[in-house]
């Protein structure tokens, strides 16, 4: 079973994404506090990270960049998501494999997750 780690400070988004992915046979771990990211990666060992760009106190773009530079996490695909569609242009700058615009459809979410996990 593919493991997906979802990072967003909006608990409604976390609950929605967790439900959708769990119903589609993914193991899902969610975190609302980006400071827990490294611990969650170490304990959950995700196949893919779904990371919000706009987090309280941090930039998902910067976190993605750090993940892609670190030897122990550079192999994990990162999909960024945001309500700011202008951010889609910056996805490749940090090494993310894809981007999902909020609000997203369930179908689009599942297609992008399947394509990249």
Name the domain count of the chain.
1
Checking if the pLDDT of 83 tops 90, the result is no
- pLDDT-wise least confident of 21-25, 27-31, 40-44, 103-107: 103-107
Structure tokens given for 24: 């589609």
Domain that holds residue 71: 3-116
Cα–Cα separations (whole angstroms), residue 97 to 39, 51, 70: 22, 11, 16
* CATH code of the domain containing 97: 3.40.50.2300
- pTM (2 d.p.): 0.94
* Dihedral, CA of residue 49, residue 52, residue 58 and residue 64, to nearest 10: 40
Q: What is the pLDDT of residues 41-68, one digit of tens each?
A: 999 999 999 999 999 999 999 999 999 9
């Amino acid at each position: 079973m593919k493991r997906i780690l979802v990072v967003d400070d909006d608990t409604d988004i976390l609950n929605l994404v967790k439900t959708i992915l769990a119903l589609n046979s993914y193991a899902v771990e969610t975190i609302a506090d980006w400071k827990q990211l490294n611990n969650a990666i170490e304990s959950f060992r995700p196949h893919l990270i779904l990371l919000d760009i706009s987090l309280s106190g941090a930039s998902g773009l910067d976190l993605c960049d750090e993940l892609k530079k670190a030897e122990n996490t550079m192999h994990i695909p990162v999909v960024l998501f945001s309500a700011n569609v202008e951010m889609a242009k910056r996805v490749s700058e940090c090494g993310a494999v894809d981007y999902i615009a909020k609000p997203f459809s369930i179908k689009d979410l599942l297609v992008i997750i399947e394509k990249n996990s």
